[in-house]
Amino acid sequence: MKPPKFEYRAARTVEEAVSLLQEAGEDAKILAGGQSLVPMLNFRLTRPSHLIDINKVSELDYIREKDGKLAIGALTRERTIERSALVRQKFPLLTEATEWIGHVQIRNRGTIGGSVAHADPASEYPALVVLSDAELTIQGPDGSRTTTWDEFFVTYLTTSLQPFEVLTELRFPLPKPGSGYAFVELARRHGDFALVGCAAQVTMNGKGTCQEARLALIGVGPFPHRSPDAEAMLKGQKLTDKLISEAGQKISEEVEPEGDMHASTEYRRAMSKVFTERALKKALSRVQGGK
Amino acid sequence: MSMHSISLTINGKKFEGQAEARKLLSDFIREDIGLTGTHVGCEHGMCGACTVFIDGVGVRSCLTFAVQADGTSIETVESLAKDGKLSPLQEAFWENHGLQCGFCTPGMLICAEELLRENKNPTEQEVRLAISGNLCRCTGYHHIVLSILAAAKKLQGAAQAA
Ligand SMILES: Cc1cc2nc3c(=O)[nH]c(=O)nc-3n(C[C@H](O)[C@H](O)[C@H](O)COP(=O)(O)OP(=O)(O)OC[C@H]3O[C@@H](n4cnc5c(N)ncnc54)[C@H](O)[C@@H]3O)c2cc1C
Ligand code: FES
Ligand code: FES
């Protein structure tokens, strides 16, 4: 189908984007890569009065290392992240997550800020925001504020972003030395949205004891699922197959996936265990130097 | 609704036109510019048939508004053949049965072109990933993959000869 009518304005700076949003009123929307918003417009699932295009806001397109964190501008394209040597070196979990997103031509346009603001329950980037307790910087009419996932994600496709606010930066704390990572997922075809996916990051000390485990699952609830209990089971322990299986079991009991035509609730629940186990084992193998 | 003036380069030629904000680039290319090589299958990013280059980057023209292409340089499938002669990639599709009805072909060609511009010697797996976002209802994909691999060989041969 064709999109409904709207007015179009392009911003060149964040400040201008915020003031254009204010001028346009509460029914305006930001247009970033358009890879989620334009399909919704074409299906007329949304009817914004205005689109404020931020594609020319080049000040939001960067990847930098800053104070032990990886700071990424909201307009940075998924393809730029995928190809970034800095990301691959410092936070390879982000590279691996990116490779799961759609296809080259989708990643050429799609942005990290758009993905996180869109908050699809099966999207990869929100999982990493949750897993690493990333800081999100948001600019609005009254200046800027910083938040984290527990305040940001509200429910399916819904965040705490207010009408005139722009997500500007995401800051991911870098994994500590001795860490391994994995992003594994179950999808019908490569590039499709995940039915179930799991991101894992484990940090081991020299004696083979787990100092920290972080897990985030997608496709099993309104936004990525973090499990303090499963993480606590792993912390301070040797990561045996038995313990990993128990952590997977714990998570499968916690999650509340909705079933759809592609996968039932029961199936997603069962797969949340399987994919937690696979993610943890793969992450562990990467700490030990294997790949 | 206000109209927007759009001036862009299409396959090396200047074009100036006007469009409502909601006009998709795919429709602008087909209806206003009059180049119907770019096909429209799904209008939600799923089939890949509408893929074009904007400033050298492959994008879905059904997920881009024409106003966003103001000031850019666009290449469509019509840019591949030069002086009426098929490009090596197009030739390879011809020779290897890389198309049947031809509906998906413009998108397949642009995505393959994007792959081959960056990767002169792709593996079969890399070829399959490169067209993973493109749907074909006829060929079963196998001959499209063979065509792209054959095109890579042709281009390598041409580069060595030069
Ligand atoms: C065929 C196809 C396959 C895909 N597969 C996947 C996949 O496997 N995994 C995945 O994660 N994604 C997938 N996507 C979605 C893709 O990653 C999108 O690019 C992404 O979800 C949204 O980013 P965007 O920049 O395109 O945002 P847009 O579509 O432009 O915007 C999305 C929403 O976020 C808002 N927004 C955007 N930027 C900001 C900002 N800076 N501040 C505040 N609000 C903002 C917009 O107003 C809009 O509501 C797929 C898309 C397609 C078409
Ligand atoms: S028409 Fe654009 S992807 Fe199908
Ligand atoms: S050749 Fe008919 S859709 Fe591909």
* Distances, alpha carbon A195 to alpha carbons A161, A181, A220, A258, B98, in Å: 26, 20, 8, 11, 32
**Total domain count, chain A:** 3
In which element (H, E) is residue B146 found? helix B142-161
The Cβ of residue B29 has, within 10 Å, a number of other Cβ atoms equal to: 26
- Give tens-digit pLDDT for A65-111: 999 999 999 999 999 999 999 999 999 999 999 999 999 999 999 99
- Return the best residue to mutate from B62, B64, B137 for the ligand 2 pocket (most ligand atoms within 8 A of CB): B62
- Report how far residue A99's alpha carbon sits from residue B30's, in angstroms, rounded to the nearest whole number: 32
Predicted complex ipTM: 0.97
Predicted structure pTM score: 0.97
Statement to judge: residues A168 and A184 lie in one domain: no
Q: Any idea which architecture B88-161 has in CATH?
A: Orthogonal Bundle (1.10)
Selected residues 37-66 of chain A with any CB under 8 Å from a CB in chain B: 38-39, 41-43, 51, 53, 55
CA atoms within 13 A on the CB side of B137: 6
- Report how far residue A52's alpha carbon sits from residue A210's, in angstroms, rounded to the nearest whole number: 47
- Give tens-digit pLDDT for B12-51: 999 999 999 999 999 999 999 999 999 999 999 999 999 9
Structural domain boundaries enclosing A37 = 7-53
pLDDT of A289 reads: 57
CB contact under 8 A, A8 and B111: no
Tokens 């089939």 belong to which residue? B47
Contact A30, A54 (CB under 8 A): yes
Domain boundary among the residues A145, A173, A201 is at A173
| CATH classification of the domain holding A154 | 3.30.465.10
- Report how far residue A96's alpha carbon sits from residue A198's, in angstroms, rounded to the nearest whole number: 12
- Report how far residue A132's alpha carbon sits from residue A215's, in angstroms, rounded to the nearest whole number: 9
- Residue B44 sits at the chain A interface (C-beta within 8 Å): yes
Report which bound ligand comes closest to the CA of B41: 2
CB contact under 8 A, A105 and B58: yes
Of B26, B27, B30, B70, the residue nearest B52 (C-alpha) = B26
Residue A281 located in a structural domain:
yes
Instruction: Locate the ligand 3 atom nearest the alpha carbon of residue B101 and give its number.
Output: 2
The CATH 1.10.150.120 domain(s) of chain B lie at 88-161
Statement to judge: residues A106 and A193 lie in one domain: no
| CATH classification of the domain holding A238 | 3.30.390.50
- Give tens-digit pLDDT for B52-85: 999 999 999 999 999 999 999 999 999 999 999 9
- Give tens-digit pLDDT for B121-157: 999 999 999 999 999 999 999 999 999 999 999 999 9
- Return the best residue to mutate from B25, B30, B47, B136 for the ligand 2 pocket (most ligand atoms within 8 A of CB): B47
Statement to judge: residues A235 and A187 lie in one domain: yes
Statement to judge: residues A82 and A148 lie in one domain: yes
DSSP sequence for A17-68:
HHHHHHHH-TTEEEESS-TTHHHHHHTTS---SEEEE-TT-GGG--EEEETT
- Report how far residue A48's alpha carbon sits from residue B65's, in angstroms, rounded to the nearest whole number: 15
The Cβ of residue A1 has, within 10 Å, a number of other Cβ atoms equal to: 9
The CATH 3.10.20.30 domain(s) of chain B lie at 3-79
Domain boundary among the residues A125, A141, A173 is at A173
Regarding the domain delimited by B3-79, which CATH topology (the fold level of the hierarchy) does it fall under?
Answer: Ubiquitin-like (UB roll) (3.10.20)
Kindly indicate the confidence band of residue A290, based on its pLDDT and cuts at 50, 70 and 90: very low
CB contact under 8 A, A7 and B65: no
